Amino acid sequence: MSRGATDVRSLASFAPDELAAQLADWGFKPGHAARVLRGFYASGGQVAPGQAPWPAGLAAKLRALHAPLATLAARQVAEDLTTKLLLRLGDGRTVESVLMPDYRPDRAAGCVSSQVGCAMGCDFCATTKTGFERNLTAGEMVEQFLALRAEAGAVGRRLQTLVFMGMGEPLLNLDAVVVAVERMASNALGALGSRQITVSTVGIVPGIDALAAARLGVHLAVSLHAPDDATRAQLLPMGRRFGVGEILAAADRYQASSGRPVTIQYCLLREVNDSPAQARQLADLLRGRTMHVNLLRYNPTGLSLRGATYAASSDAAAGAFLAELRARRVVAHFRRPRGRDIDAACGQLRRRAALAAAAP
Ligand code: SF4
Protein backbone atom coordinates (compact mmCIF):
# COMPACT_ATOMS: atom_id res chain seq x y z
CA MET A 1 0.00 0.00 0.00
CA SER A 2 1.41 3.41 -0.88
CA ARG A 3 1.96 5.92 1.87
CA GLY A 4 -0.53 8.78 1.96
CA ALA A 5 0.71 12.36 2.07
CA THR A 6 -0.37 12.76 5.68
CA ASP A 7 1.59 9.66 6.78
CA VAL A 8 4.96 11.06 5.76
CA ARG A 9 6.97 14.08 6.71
CA SER A 10 10.62 15.02 6.49
CA LEU A 11 12.56 14.93 9.74
CA ALA A 12 13.98 18.31 8.59
CA SER A 13 10.56 19.85 9.14
CA PHE A 14 10.34 18.83 12.81
CA ALA A 15 11.16 20.98 15.80
CA PRO A 16 12.54 18.78 18.61
CA ASP A 17 9.39 19.07 20.73
CA GLU A 18 7.20 18.14 17.75
CA LEU A 19 9.19 14.97 17.14
CA ALA A 20 9.07 14.17 20.86
CA ALA A 21 5.27 14.40 20.66
CA GLN A 22 5.25 12.15 17.57
CA LEU A 23 7.39 9.54 19.34
CA ALA A 24 5.10 9.64 22.36
CA ASP A 25 2.11 9.07 20.02
CA TRP A 26 3.85 5.96 18.73
CA GLY A 27 4.45 4.75 22.28
CA PHE A 28 8.19 5.53 22.49
CA LYS A 29 9.94 7.68 25.07
CA PRO A 30 9.88 11.33 23.87
CA GLY A 31 13.48 11.64 25.06
CA HIS A 32 14.66 9.68 22.00
CA ALA A 33 13.72 12.63 19.75
CA ALA A 34 16.89 14.56 20.59
CA ARG A 35 19.09 11.61 19.60
CA VAL A 36 17.11 10.95 16.42
CA LEU A 37 17.47 14.54 15.26
CA ARG A 38 21.13 14.83 16.27
CA GLY A 39 21.92 11.74 14.17
CA PHE A 40 19.83 13.03 11.27
CA TYR A 41 21.60 16.41 11.15
CA ALA A 42 25.11 15.07 11.86
CA SER A 43 24.87 12.44 9.11
CA GLY A 44 23.67 14.88 6.45
CA GLY A 45 20.09 13.64 6.42
CA GLN A 46 20.18 9.90 7.17
CA VAL A 47 17.41 8.41 9.27
CA ALA A 48 18.59 6.44 12.33
CA PRO A 49 22.14 6.13 10.97
CA GLY A 50 24.74 3.72 12.36
CA GLN A 51 24.37 0.66 14.48
CA ALA A 52 23.34 2.36 17.73
CA PRO A 53 20.70 0.32 19.54
CA TRP A 54 17.25 1.83 19.09
CA PRO A 55 14.10 0.67 20.85
CA ALA A 56 12.55 -2.15 18.82
CA GLY A 57 10.62 -0.78 15.90
CA LEU A 58 11.63 2.88 16.25
CA ALA A 59 14.10 3.00 13.34
CA ALA A 60 11.55 1.33 11.04
CA LYS A 61 8.85 3.79 12.12
CA LEU A 62 11.14 6.74 11.45
CA ARG A 63 12.14 5.44 8.01
CA ALA A 64 8.50 4.96 7.11
CA LEU A 65 7.72 8.50 8.28
CA HIS A 66 10.58 10.34 6.63
CA ALA A 67 9.99 11.64 3.11
CA PRO A 68 12.71 14.03 1.88
CA LEU A 69 11.56 17.47 0.78
CA ALA A 70 14.37 17.76 -1.78
CA THR A 71 15.99 15.09 -3.93
CA LEU A 72 18.99 15.36 -6.21
CA ALA A 73 18.01 16.08 -9.83
CA ALA A 74 21.40 17.05 -11.27
CA ARG A 75 24.94 17.60 -10.10
CA GLN A 76 27.82 19.45 -11.75
CA VAL A 77 31.40 19.28 -10.51
CA ALA A 78 33.87 21.91 -11.73
CA GLU A 79 37.60 21.46 -12.21
CA ASP A 80 38.16 23.37 -8.96
CA LEU A 81 35.76 20.86 -7.29
CA THR A 82 33.00 23.42 -6.82
CA THR A 83 29.88 21.26 -6.86
CA LYS A 84 26.50 22.55 -7.89
CA LEU A 85 23.41 20.58 -6.86
CA LEU A 86 20.04 20.94 -8.52
CA LEU A 87 17.47 19.72 -6.00
CA ARG A 88 13.92 18.78 -6.93
CA LEU A 89 11.24 19.73 -4.43
CA GLY A 90 7.99 17.90 -3.69
CA ASP A 91 6.02 20.04 -6.15
CA GLY A 92 8.47 19.38 -8.99
CA ARG A 93 10.15 22.79 -8.78
CA THR A 94 13.92 22.95 -8.50
CA VAL A 95 16.46 24.96 -6.53
CA GLU A 96 20.23 25.22 -6.58
CA SER A 97 22.74 24.70 -3.77
CA VAL A 98 26.51 24.95 -4.15
CA LEU A 99 29.46 23.42 -2.28
CA MET A 100 32.75 25.31 -2.58
CA PRO A 101 35.96 23.68 -1.32
CA ASP A 102 38.06 25.82 0.99
CA TYR A 103 41.81 26.23 0.42
CA ARG A 104 42.16 24.15 3.61
CA PRO A 105 41.80 20.57 2.45
CA ASP A 106 39.35 19.53 5.15
CA ARG A 107 36.82 22.35 4.84
CA ALA A 108 34.13 23.59 2.49
CA ALA A 109 31.60 26.41 2.26
CA GLY A 110 27.98 25.99 1.21
CA CYS A 111 25.48 28.26 -0.49
CA VAL A 112 21.73 27.71 -0.20
CA SER A 113 18.65 29.18 -1.86
CA SER A 114 15.80 30.77 0.06
CA GLN A 115 13.18 31.03 -2.70
CA VAL A 116 12.27 29.28 -5.94
CA GLY A 117 13.20 31.92 -8.50
CA CYS A 118 13.41 35.54 -7.43
CA ALA A 119 11.32 38.69 -7.80
CA MET A 120 14.16 41.16 -7.35
CA GLY A 121 14.93 41.49 -11.05
CA CYS A 122 18.66 42.19 -10.75
CA ASP A 123 19.56 42.80 -14.34
CA PHE A 124 22.77 40.73 -14.41
CA CYS A 125 21.33 37.63 -12.67
CA ALA A 126 20.20 34.39 -14.35
CA THR A 127 17.74 33.53 -11.55
CA THR A 128 15.60 36.55 -12.19
CA LYS A 129 14.89 35.48 -15.78
CA THR A 130 12.49 32.79 -14.59
CA GLY A 131 10.74 35.11 -12.13
CA PHE A 132 9.54 34.34 -8.63
CA GLU A 133 7.69 31.08 -8.03
CA ARG A 134 7.44 30.61 -4.28
CA ASN A 135 9.14 30.86 -0.91
CA LEU A 136 11.00 27.83 0.38
CA THR A 137 9.98 26.31 3.68
CA ALA A 138 12.42 26.11 6.58
CA GLY A 139 12.59 22.32 6.07
CA GLU A 140 13.52 22.75 2.39
CA MET A 141 16.37 25.08 3.37
CA VAL A 142 17.52 22.67 6.09
CA GLU A 143 17.55 19.84 3.53
CA GLN A 144 19.80 21.89 1.22
CA PHE A 145 22.17 22.35 4.16
CA LEU A 146 22.08 18.60 4.87
CA ALA A 147 22.68 17.74 1.20
CA LEU A 148 25.72 20.02 1.22
CA ARG A 149 26.95 18.54 4.49
CA ALA A 150 26.66 15.03 3.01
CA GLU A 151 28.37 16.16 -0.22
CA ALA A 152 31.24 17.68 1.78
CA GLY A 153 31.55 14.57 3.95
CA ALA A 154 31.75 12.36 0.87
CA VAL A 155 34.93 14.15 -0.23
CA GLY A 156 36.50 14.24 3.24
CA ARG A 157 35.59 17.85 4.04
CA ARG A 158 33.56 19.50 6.75
CA LEU A 159 30.90 22.05 5.87
CA GLN A 160 32.39 24.98 7.75
CA THR A 161 30.33 27.96 6.61
CA LEU A 162 26.99 28.55 4.93
CA VAL A 163 25.68 31.55 3.01
CA PHE A 164 22.10 32.34 2.04
CA MET A 165 23.25 33.67 -1.28
CA GLY A 166 21.67 31.30 -3.78
CA MET A 167 18.35 31.84 -5.52
CA GLY A 168 16.01 34.33 -3.91
CA GLU A 169 16.05 37.24 -1.49
CA PRO A 170 16.26 35.74 2.02
CA LEU A 171 14.86 38.82 3.76
CA LEU A 172 11.61 38.46 1.80
CA ASN A 173 11.21 34.98 3.29
CA LEU A 174 12.50 35.93 6.69
CA ASP A 175 10.22 33.88 8.97
CA ALA A 176 11.26 30.62 7.29
CA VAL A 177 14.92 31.71 7.08
CA VAL A 178 14.92 32.42 10.83
CA VAL A 179 13.56 28.94 11.63
CA ALA A 180 16.05 27.31 9.22
CA VAL A 181 19.00 29.22 10.72
CA GLU A 182 17.90 28.35 14.24
CA ARG A 183 17.87 24.65 13.32
CA MET A 184 21.18 24.77 11.43
CA ALA A 185 22.87 26.67 14.26
CA SER A 186 21.36 24.82 17.22
CA ASN A 187 23.88 22.68 19.10
CA ALA A 188 21.22 19.99 19.39
CA LEU A 189 20.61 19.94 15.60
CA GLY A 190 22.87 21.32 12.86
CA ALA A 191 25.53 22.61 15.27
CA LEU A 192 26.97 24.89 12.58
CA GLY A 193 27.16 27.98 14.78
CA SER A 194 25.58 31.29 13.85
CA ARG A 195 29.00 32.87 13.26
CA GLN A 196 29.44 30.44 10.40
CA ILE A 197 26.24 31.58 8.68
CA THR A 198 25.81 34.64 6.44
CA VAL A 199 22.52 36.06 5.17
CA SER A 200 22.86 38.10 2.00
CA THR A 201 20.43 40.78 0.86
CA VAL A 202 19.98 43.03 -2.10
CA GLY A 203 19.22 45.81 0.42
CA ILE A 204 15.71 45.40 1.84
CA VAL A 205 15.93 47.96 4.63
CA PRO A 206 12.97 46.75 6.80
CA GLY A 207 14.25 43.19 6.34
CA ILE A 208 17.71 44.16 7.63
CA ASP A 209 16.11 45.65 10.73
CA ALA A 210 13.89 42.58 11.16
CA LEU A 211 16.93 40.30 10.86
CA ALA A 212 18.65 42.37 13.55
CA ALA A 213 15.54 42.06 15.75
CA ALA A 214 15.60 38.25 15.31
CA ARG A 215 19.00 38.26 17.10
CA LEU A 216 20.33 35.23 15.27
CA GLY A 217 23.93 36.40 15.49
CA VAL A 218 24.54 35.65 11.80
CA HIS A 219 26.68 37.73 9.48
CA LEU A 220 25.01 40.10 7.03
CA ALA A 221 26.20 40.67 3.46
CA VAL A 222 24.75 43.53 1.43
CA SER A 223 24.87 43.36 -2.37
CA LEU A 224 25.59 46.99 -3.19
CA HIS A 225 27.09 46.70 -6.68
CA ALA A 226 27.17 50.48 -7.20
CA PRO A 227 28.09 53.47 -5.05
CA ASP A 228 25.35 55.78 -6.38
CA ASP A 229 21.59 55.47 -6.61
CA ALA A 230 21.36 56.03 -10.37
CA THR A 231 23.75 53.23 -11.36
CA ARG A 232 22.32 50.98 -8.71
CA ALA A 233 18.73 51.53 -9.86
CA GLN A 234 19.80 50.58 -13.38
CA LEU A 235 21.24 47.28 -12.13
CA LEU A 236 18.85 46.45 -9.29
CA PRO A 237 15.22 47.58 -9.46
CA MET A 238 15.14 47.45 -5.63
CA GLY A 239 17.64 50.33 -5.80
CA ARG A 240 14.75 52.62 -6.73
CA ARG A 241 12.99 51.78 -3.46
CA PHE A 242 15.93 51.96 -1.05
CA GLY A 243 18.82 54.36 -1.60
CA VAL A 244 22.46 53.55 -0.93
CA GLY A 245 22.57 55.85 2.11
CA GLU A 246 19.46 54.25 3.61
CA ILE A 247 20.85 50.74 3.08
CA LEU A 248 24.20 51.55 4.65
CA ALA A 249 22.43 53.14 7.63
CA ALA A 250 20.48 49.89 8.10
CA ALA A 251 23.75 47.95 7.79
CA ASP A 252 25.23 50.22 10.50
CA ARG A 253 22.29 49.37 12.76
CA TYR A 254 22.73 45.67 12.07
CA GLN A 255 26.43 45.85 12.82
CA ALA A 256 25.84 47.79 16.05
CA SER A 257 23.20 45.37 17.35
CA SER A 258 24.83 42.10 16.24
CA GLY A 259 28.49 42.99 16.77
CA ARG A 260 29.20 41.33 13.41
CA PRO A 261 31.00 43.33 10.71
CA VAL A 262 28.90 43.67 7.58
CA THR A 263 30.25 42.58 4.20
CA ILE A 264 29.62 44.70 1.11
CA GLN A 265 29.32 42.63 -2.06
CA TYR A 266 30.29 44.37 -5.26
CA CYS A 267 30.16 42.57 -8.60
CA LEU A 268 32.45 44.32 -11.09
CA LEU A 269 30.79 44.88 -14.47
CA ARG A 270 32.81 46.26 -17.35
CA GLU A 271 32.24 49.98 -17.89
CA VAL A 272 29.14 49.93 -15.69
CA ASN A 273 30.40 50.14 -12.12
CA ASP A 274 34.15 49.53 -12.31
CA SER A 275 35.73 52.96 -12.83
CA PRO A 276 38.33 54.42 -10.47
CA ALA A 277 35.89 57.27 -9.74
CA GLN A 278 33.26 54.75 -8.63
CA ALA A 279 35.86 53.02 -6.43
CA ARG A 280 36.65 56.37 -4.80
CA GLN A 281 32.93 57.02 -4.31
CA LEU A 282 32.54 53.62 -2.65
CA ALA A 283 35.54 54.33 -0.40
CA ASP A 284 33.99 57.67 0.58
CA LEU A 285 30.76 55.91 1.55
CA LEU A 286 32.64 53.45 3.72
CA ARG A 287 34.89 55.98 5.43
CA GLY A 288 34.45 55.57 9.19
CA ARG A 289 32.68 52.25 8.74
CA THR A 290 34.29 48.91 9.57
CA MET A 291 32.79 47.06 6.62
CA HIS A 292 34.66 44.66 4.41
CA VAL A 293 34.27 44.77 0.62
CA ASN A 294 34.03 41.52 -1.30
CA LEU A 295 34.72 42.14 -4.99
CA LEU A 296 33.16 39.57 -7.30
CA ARG A 297 34.13 38.65 -10.83
CA TYR A 298 31.04 38.45 -13.04
CA ASN A 299 29.97 35.15 -14.62
CA PRO A 300 28.23 36.09 -17.88
CA THR A 301 24.57 35.00 -18.08
CA GLY A 302 23.64 36.14 -21.61
CA LEU A 303 21.16 38.82 -22.55
CA SER A 304 19.67 40.49 -19.48
CA LEU A 305 15.96 41.10 -18.83
CA ARG A 306 16.36 44.65 -20.14
CA GLY A 307 18.32 43.56 -23.18
CA ALA A 308 21.81 44.44 -21.91
CA THR A 309 24.84 42.21 -22.23
CA TYR A 310 27.14 42.56 -19.27
CA ALA A 311 30.78 41.58 -19.26
CA ALA A 312 33.28 41.02 -16.49
CA SER A 313 35.68 43.87 -15.79
CA SER A 314 39.10 43.56 -17.36
CA ASP A 315 41.88 42.43 -15.02
CA ALA A 316 43.39 45.91 -15.26
CA ALA A 317 40.15 47.68 -14.32
CA ALA A 318 39.43 45.24 -11.49
CA GLY A 319 42.96 45.63 -10.13
CA ALA A 320 42.73 49.42 -10.31
CA PHE A 321 39.36 49.35 -8.52
CA LEU A 322 40.84 47.28 -5.68
CA ALA A 323 43.90 49.56 -5.49
CA GLU A 324 41.70 52.68 -5.20
CA LEU A 325 39.79 51.11 -2.31
CA ARG A 326 42.91 49.96 -0.51
CA ALA A 327 44.61 53.33 -1.00
CA ARG A 328 41.71 54.74 1.01
CA ARG A 329 42.13 52.14 3.74
CA VAL A 330 39.07 50.11 2.80
CA VAL A 331 39.47 46.41 3.59
CA ALA A 332 38.72 44.74 0.27
CA HIS A 333 39.43 41.42 -1.43
CA PHE A 334 38.47 39.56 -4.53
CA ARG A 335 36.29 36.57 -3.87
CA ARG A 336 37.94 33.60 -5.51
CA PRO A 337 36.04 32.76 -8.72
CA ARG A 338 34.37 29.36 -8.43
CA GLY A 339 33.31 26.74 -10.88
CA ARG A 340 34.06 28.74 -14.00
CA ASP A 341 33.74 25.65 -16.22
CA ILE A 342 30.23 24.82 -14.98
CA ASP A 343 27.04 26.91 -14.76
CA ALA A 344 28.56 28.85 -11.89
CA ALA A 345 26.29 31.88 -11.70
CA CYS A 346 23.22 31.57 -9.51
CA GLY A 347 20.26 30.18 -11.49
CA GLN A 348 22.19 29.01 -14.54
CA LEU A 349 22.02 25.25 -13.92
CA ARG A 350 18.32 25.45 -13.10
CA ARG A 351 17.63 27.48 -16.23
CA ARG A 352 19.58 25.07 -18.39
CA ALA A 353 17.67 22.10 -16.90
CA ALA A 354 14.32 23.86 -17.51
CA LEU A 355 15.25 24.65 -21.14
CA ALA A 356 16.33 21.04 -21.72
CA ALA A 357 13.04 19.75 -20.26
CA ALA A 358 11.04 22.10 -22.50
CA ALA A 359 12.96 21.18 -25.67
CA PRO A 360 10.97 19.06 -28.18
S1 SF4 B 1 21.05 38.55 -7.60
FE2 SF4 B 1 19.95 37.55 -5.89
S3 SF4 B 1 18.36 39.07 -5.34
FE4 SF4 B 1 19.08 39.63 -7.39
S5 SF4 B 1 17.65 38.58 -8.84
FE6 SF4 B 1 19.45 37.23 -8.50
S7 SF4 B 1 18.81 35.84 -6.84
FE8 SF4 B 1 17.42 37.63 -6.80
Residue 5 is predicted with a pLDDT of 40
Percentages of the chain per state (helix, strand, coil), in multiples of 5 = 40, 20, 40
Determine which helix (DSSP H) or strand (DSSP E) holds 242, and give its type and residue range: none
Instruction: Tell me, in angstroms, the distance from the centre of ligand 1 to residue 170's CA.
Output: 10
Instruction: Tell me, in angstroms, the distance from the centre of ligand 1 to residue 34's CA.
Output: 36
Residue 342 is predicted with a pLDDT of 62
Kindly list the catalytic residues. Answer: 96, 346
What is the maximal distance between C-alpha atoms in the chain?
70
Query: If you take atom 6 of ligand 1, which residue's CA is the nearest one?
Result: 125
Each residue's pLDDT, cut to its tens digit, for the chain (360 residues) gives: 344 444 899 999 999 999 999 999 999 999 999 999 999 999 999 998 876 688 889 999 999 999 999 999 999 999 988 999 999 999 999 999 999 999 999 999 999 999 999 999 999 888 877 889 999 999 999 999 999 999 999 999 999 999 999 999 999 999 999 999 999 999 999 999 999 999 999 999 999 999 999 999 999 999 999 999 999 999 999 889 999 999 999 999 999 999 999 999 999 999 999 999 999 999 999 999 999 999 999 988 888 878 889 999 999 999 999 999 999 999 999 987 666 666 656 666 666 666 556 555
Residue 252 is predicted with a pLDDT of 98
Classify the C-alpha dihedral 172-175-180-181 as positive or negative: positive
Residue 44 per-residue DSSP state: T
pLDDT in tens, 107-156: 999 999 999 999 999 998 888 778 899 999 999 999 999 999 999 999 99
Instruction: Tell me, in angstroms, the distance from the centre of ligand 1 to residue 125's CA.
Output: 6
Instruction: Give residue ranges with CB within 6 A of ligand 1.
Output: 118, 120-122, 125, 127-128, 167-169, 202, 346
Mutate to test the pocket of ligand 1, among 116, 177, 202 (most ligand atoms within 8 A of CB): 202
Q: Which atom of ligand 1 is nearest to the CA of 202?
A: 3
**Residue 191 Rama label (left phi>0; alpha psi -120 to 50; beta):** left
Q: What distance in Å separates the CA atoms of residue 33 and residue 29, rounded to the nearest whole number? A: 8
- What percentage of the chain reaches a pLDDT higher than 70? 91
Instruction: Tell me, in angstroms, the distance from the centre of ligand 1 to residue 91's CA.
Output: 22
Instruction: Tell me, in angstroms, the distance from the centre of ligand 1 to residue 56's CA.
Output: 48
Burial class (CB in 10 A: 0-12, 13-18, 19+), 154: exposed
Mutate to test the pocket of ligand 1, among 127, 204, 265, 267 (most ligand atoms within 8 A of CB): 127
Mutate to test the pocket of ligand 1, among 98, 111, 116, 120 (most ligand atoms within 8 A of CB): 120
